[in-house]
Chains A and B, each alone.
Chain A
Amino acid sequence: MSAESFVILAYVIGLSILLGDGALVWWRLRRRAGSDHDTTVEDRRRPEA
């Protein structure tokens, strides 16, 4: 492999780890927000039931 390939690999691996974690956190926060919304809706329904 050439030196250019090593440089590209270093940047791709490094950025994938960090941005991948950012995407994971963002997805988990969205999922939490979604489940909070579901809980709220469920809680609202409960007294009516």
Chain B
Amino acid sequence: MSSSTRKLVIRAYWIVTLLVLAVGVWLSAYYAPIESEMGVIQKVFYFHLPAAFCMFGACFLVFVAGAGYLWQRDQRWDDLADAAAHVAVLLASVVLLTGMLWAKKAWGQWWTWSPRLTFSLILWLLYVVYLILRASIDSAQKRAMVCAVYGVIAFLDVPLVYLSVKLMDDIHPSSVELEPSMLLTLIVWMAGVALLTAGLVAGRFRLARISHKKSHDASGVTGGMA
């Protein structure tokens, strides 16, 4: 694929993503009905749930990339894990913040130490620590190895977040019944946030590849000069 075609495809991708998100905003504002029990605050759900699912997806990608690096020792796996971890932290922040705003109106408090909220906060902390760990190790090979092991272990918290409402008493509902118009709004938001997540991971992956290639070239030049 030529450079100009590639640029065109990337531009089209981002235009479609923004359009889907704009349609999602319109649907949640004007099309989806106001839920009878919670009222208008329930509309946070259309953004909160897709962000949570995409957060799980990004964490899974860190896990897969970590396992891939341990298996093949290929730097591209480490770059992918780096990109996915950044996006996982962003999505976890969105999930926690939108959840807190929802909780304040629905339950009258910003935070409760229920199992799902606690495991979600732990998840956010785990991936923030992952990024700090990455930044604190200078050797590329050592960093990739340590972060791969950490990324695989950190993923253990994801099933705990997901299953916490099913296995333990929690303030979250374990299942949700949706009207067709609510379901359509949710599907559009799922598509929009998934496209946005994939675009962010792809962009950060490309950035990591370029940085890695540059540092590799720079070290090659230094070696050659020495």
Contacts and interface: CB of A to CB of B under 8 A. Distances in A.
Contact of B90 (A11, A21, A29, A32): A21
A5 to B, nearest CB: 9
A11 B46 CA distance: 10
A26 B105 contact: no
Contacts of B104: 6
Interface stretch (B92-100, B134-142, B168-176): B92-100
B208 to A, nearest CB: 10
Where chain B touches its partner, the secondary structure class is: helix
Contacts of B87: 21
Contacts of B204: 25
A9 B101 contact: yes
Interface residues of B, number: 34
A22 B207 contact: no
Interface string A12-46: 01110111011001101100100000000000000
A7 interface: yes
Given A13-B97, A25-B200, A18 B90 contact: yes
A5 B90 CA distance: 22
Given A3-B105, A7-B44, A25 B203 contact: yes
Nearest to A14: B94
